[in-house]
Structure 1
């Protein structure tokens, strides 16, 4: 197996561009990381999506900072919100808004709770591997018409290429403004070998999907839903957000089942 030395994002860009004597495959790998640093690290959201039917996705959570939508998340139990680890910021306080559709509507009776972060111990900000976390609610919530949780995979099986799935969130719209209403769009799972040709840093803990309604800024942490099961977490993609020619990369939830069970006690 080829092993490449990882130099860190800043030096990776320099070495990959100017160190012509290094192994070609390692150089391509480092260039891939460099491009990820410079252009791919967008928080995903929804471009060209349509407004979801109010409360048709009762598991959706708006993770907020200073009262503003910061990232997506989704309930997987009565006390745990799953999200992307890169949504967390040190020394910042976050809240989770449950049961919302229109974030500007104070009459929706949405639940707003302070949350405690539980980040995967192997998370690596430089390459977005292990990009998974939980936000723990201070108390368990009860199921209702507007609040519920979604199932996650029971095994680490690959999702077949061309499987039609969906994503949702409150991120940027086509006009570049943030949506206050939940948007959704369909997406199609990409065959792993094809995605590996685009993202050389793709690991077994990641998966890809393509869609015309492309995630953009604001919805990192939201779920990739296939057949009513959350199989992925919106993680990263390449700029520009409007481009439908490049896939989005998702955390592959099935790859984390032992860790998930350790945190929440069940799968």
Structure 2
């Protein structure tokens, strides 16, 4: 993976390269309080400043940020999208898709999330989703991907429990609203 460039505008890794936009990254700005605690990232947000602008339209659109006090309601629907593993079995090699995946998920309270993952660093800067019934969840390769609600970016895929979709295991996202001040310093 080349962290010195981003690719936008595609929904298939074998798409016609004529529709993709590739832009060099000028600078990566990690949150100053970022840390890893037992392979779980805390304050897991990084800004990628680009050397040139993307051309908006067609397959490339801007997405609004939430207000700084915004917290998704438990039980509300959100959409996760990403290139993460679609594997439903335990194994050494995840099944990575060629097509961008998406799924509607349900927000759960951080209290419930912390109860499901005891001794975890789940806090008010996170958004957690289910379902926790053993069905589809965020997985390996989804990290950094968007969680949206009503056309607004509410979360950034951060961490979860392996194997993905384990019964009782939520997906944990960085709550974008907790970092709007940090983000707005650089956009």
Shorter-chain TM-score category? 0.7 to 0.9
Corresponding residue SS for 1:221: coil
Tell me, what secondary structure is at the counterpart of 2:41?
Answer: coil
User: Matches of 1:107 and 1:97 in 2, distance apart?
Assistant: 10
1:171, CA displacement in angstroms? Answer: 1.6
1:186 to partner: Cα distance: 0.9
Matched, 1:205 2:128: no
- For residues 86 and 18 of structure 2, what CA distance do their matches in structure 1 show? 22
Aligned to 2:19: 109
In the alignment, structure 2 segments of 5+ residues that lack a partner are 89-93
1:178 is aligned to 2:96: yes
Higher relative contact order (CA 8 A, sep 6+): 1
Q: Name the residue aligned to 1:133.
A: 46
Instruction: Choose from 23, 32, 49 the match for 1:121.
Output: 32
Q: Which has the larger radius of gyration?
A: 1
TM (norm. structure 2) is 0.86
TM-score by length of 1: 0.61
Mapped partners of 1:108, 1:217: distance in 2: 28
Q: How far apart in 1 are the matches of 2:5 and 2:49?
A: 10
Where does 1:81-96 land on structure 2 (aligned, <5 Å)? 93-96=3-6
Matches within 5 A, 1:210-225: 210-211=130-131, 212-225=135-148
Aligned length: 174
Which residue number corresponds to residue 240 of structure 1?
Answer: 163
CA contact (8 A) 1:98 1:110 kept: yes
Residue of 194, 199, 217 corresponding to 2:112 = 194
More strand per residue: 2
Q: Which has the larger share of helix? A: 1
Q: Deviations over 1:88-123 (max 9, x none)?
A: xxxxx4321100111122444201122121111110
Shift of 1:244: 4.3
Checking the alignment, whether the CA contact within 8 Å between 1:187 and 1:210 is kept in structure 2 is yes
5+ residue gaps, structure 1, are 1-64, 67-92
